[in-house]
Structure 1
Amino acid sequence: MIGSSNRKSVPVTSSDNDFDSEHDLDGDEGVSDSVEARVWQLLLLINPGDEESALQQFADYRDAAAHVDENDVEPIDIIRRVIDWRSGFYVDRHDTRALVQAIDELSSRWNISIDWDGDPDDDDFHTDIDAASLFAIAYDGLLEHGYTLWAWEAEDDSCAGWITLKRDNEFLRELATSLGINMRLGSEVT
């Protein structure tokens, strides 16, 4: 069982638009172990302080998952689509401009501006830098404000990640593992 002091309840409903009925993850048998419950917890973590966005993304996740055969559902594939550029990013590893834009967009949710050690609007900046270096810079910048930049393993030549509160690091690792998502800190990207 996944443990956390930040545990919230997962909406379990009879319809996609009705989030009135909630169950605690420690409570009802089956709810705590469901993929849906773990996805809900993940969405709460990557939307710190913004439960409304988490609820919208959860509804989008449930809708998308309903259109896929239950045996073929890969949670991260659906999560990636419902959070893209709102709570996470998935960009080509060689497109350093898109990576900077994505991280800047996510950081702006908390009025955090990353000091990129150069001007990301300058073409020369992108000739001399790679995705791993950008992850490391952003990781350090976000950590100063109590946030952690994460990267998750993408199967193609892409960079993918999200941002959580630093205090949730251990819970995120456990949750990601339970969902089959290979995570690493932004400072560990190679």
Structure 2
Amino acid sequence: MSDYDEEFDAEREFDDVEEDSVEAKVWQLLLLINPGDEETALQQFADYREASAELEPDELVPIELIGRVIDWRSGFIVDEHDLRSLIQAIDELASRFSLSVDWNGDPDDDEFFDDMDAAELFSIAYDRLAEFGYTLWAWETDGDGVAGWMTLTRDVEPLRELASALHINLRLGSQVS
């Protein structure tokens, strides 16, 4: 099968999504967290659909599947105490848009982490990314993880609406506690 045929099949599969369905909302969310990168959003959507097809409808929790299909590409889930991985994940997201975060210190220095926690790192990154027109978000996970993604700042309200419709407990990166 050629790349064209695969792309056509993926688009044709998407054509059967009802406009107000959970899948349509997931698609819209994936477009927002992959600004300017519809190809990645399409691949993640295909992965989401494949994973959701394996579940019974009452087992489907959209954010759990979204978290899996975007992890380390368009979002992240890390242990809240693993601050180095948190910085690495946020730096990876920022680098997708040719941005870098000034962490107000050197994360390679062990002393940098002495008075730091996940909330402080989210806040620093939120402020730095906002300077470039991006918003860092955090969403609630089960357990001791922290999770997030980025959008263009202009997409704050559409993302809030989608998160609410998908039952995602979402906060601005500056509001992580």
- Give the drift of 1:171: 0.4
Q: What is the letter of the counterpart of residue 133 of structure 2?
A: G
Matched AA of 1:65: S
Work out whether 1:70 is the aligned partner of 2:62.
Answer: no
Contact kept? 2:10, 2:46, Cα under 8 Å: no
Match of 1:152 among 117, 120, 139: 139
TM-score scaled to structure 1, two decimals?
0.86
Q: 2:164 aligns with which of 177, 183, 186?
A: 177
2:175 matches 1:188: yes
Question: What's the CA shift for 1:22?
Answer: 5.8
**Number of aligned pairs?**
170
Q: Which amino acid aligns with 1:121?
A: D
Secondary structure at the aligned position of 1:110 is classed as coil
In structure 2, how many angstroms separate the alpha carbons of the residues matched to 1:139 and 1:45?
Answer: 17
| CA offset digits 1:79-115 (Å, max 9, x no partner) | 0000000000000001100000000000001110100
Gaps of 5+ in 1: 1-15
Identity within the alignment, %: 64
- Contact 1:17–1:59, Cα closer than 8 Å, also in 2: no
Q: Which residue of the partner structure matches residue 115 of structure 1?
A: 102
Q: 2:21 & 2:128 partners in 1: Cα distance?
A: 35
Q: What is the distance in 2 between the residues matched to 1:141 and 1:168?
A: 17
Distance 2:23 2:109 in 1: 43
1:75 and 1:21 map into 2 onto residues whose CA distance is 19
Q: Say which SS state the counterpart of residue 161 (structure 1) adopts.
A: strand
Structure 1 ranges of 4+ moved more than 4 A: none
The 2-side partners of 1:127 and 1:61 are apart by 39
Structure 1 distance, partners of 2:13, 2:102, is: 43
> Which stretches in structure 2 are left out of the alignment for 5+ residues?
1-7
Q: TM-score, normalised by structure 2?
A: 0.92
How many angstroms apart in 1 are the aligned matches of 2:119 and 2:14?
A: 40
Question: Alignment RMSD, CA only?
Answer: 1.6
Q: Which residue of 1 aligns with 2:151?
A: 164
Q: Which has the higher helix share?
A: 2
**Separation in 2, partners of 1:21, 1:122:** 49
